[in-house]
Amino acid sequence: MPTYTTVLSIAGSDSSAGAGIQADLKTFAALCCYGCSVITSVTAQNTLGVQAVYDLPLSIVRAQFNSILNDIKIDAVKIGMLSNAQMVETVADCLQSSSLKHVVLDTVFKSTTGATLLDEAGIDAMKTKLFPLCDLIIPNVPEAEILLGGQTIERNTMRDSVVRLGLEYDTSFLLKGGHLEGHDSKDYLFMDTNRDVHQFAAPTIETKNTHGTGCTLSSAIAAHLAKGHSLEKAITLSKAYITQAIGAAKNLQLGQGSGPVHHFFNFW
């Protein structure tokens, strides 16, 4: 009997549905995958910012994970918002007790609007407990600067910075360049298997609707890995998808602040 291609998202809930679990599930569906979820936190959030965060009990997070794994075969995993060190350690314990493949970590330290979503202790736990269990880690420039001890990253140092990240943490990294000014958005991949570096470029789109771009890109990569693509091919396809999703949402209005990308541009 045919089976679904499945992706599990471990992340927080966004009540405005532009980021977090909701954006992940939309992305999986748009890319013809079946999405499952482990919700870590519930946020009161809209296009203007994050107003409140409630972290679910660790026992409930673990129960969600076990419930899914005891019944459903998962082809890839995307990890997003983990709100504190204890949450990071719980998710790491869950992963360590499983044999899941294609684990993609979006290092969510802050929201698009600047709200802190993971404190220093949580970042330290992520580096020591979770990084070794991941196949790909995806920081933006501000997050990468934290991971490199405060080093400033410029457009002309991105390649060297992603190599430093990969060698220091001994895994593959995709360093996103969307926070840096320029006519194009360049991301750099360091592959820990052969220490190759690949560049992915797309035109910069002038728009305020960028809520959930990181969630969407990382979820798309996980979906394409679940479908059997190589890491480089998965990123190439996902970069094209997020670029089109941003472009399709450029002239759409939702809320008063930073609106979401258009996950289903292919279907409307």
Q: What is the pLDDT of residue 155?
A: 86
Cα–Cα distance for residue pair 210/208, rounded to 1 Å = 6
DSSP-assigned letters across all residues of 169-184: HTSEEEEB-TTS-SSE
> What is residue 182's predicted lDDT score, i.e. its pLDDT?
65
Which residues are marked as active site? 176, 210, 212-215
Q: What pLDDT is stored for residue 161 in this prediction?
A: 96
Spans of the chain, pLDDT less than 50: none
Looking at residue 80, its pLDDT comes to: 97
197-212 pLDDT, tens per residue?
A: 999 999 889 999 999 9
Q: Which helix H or strand E contains 12, and what residues bound it?
A: strand 6-14
Q: Which domains does the chain possess?
A: 6-249 (3.40.1190.20)
Contacts of 112-115 with CB under 8 Å at 24 or more apart are 112/19, 112/210, 112/211, 112/212, 112/213, 112/258, 113/48, 113/49, 113/50, 113/257, 113/258, 114/49, 115/49, 115/50
State how far the alpha carbon of 35 is from the alpha carbons of 72, 180, 222, 234, in Å.
Answer: 11, 32, 11, 17
Q: The tokens of 251 are what?
A: 């002239």
pLDDT, tens digit, for every residue of 98-133? 999 999 999 988 776 667 778 889 999 999 999 999
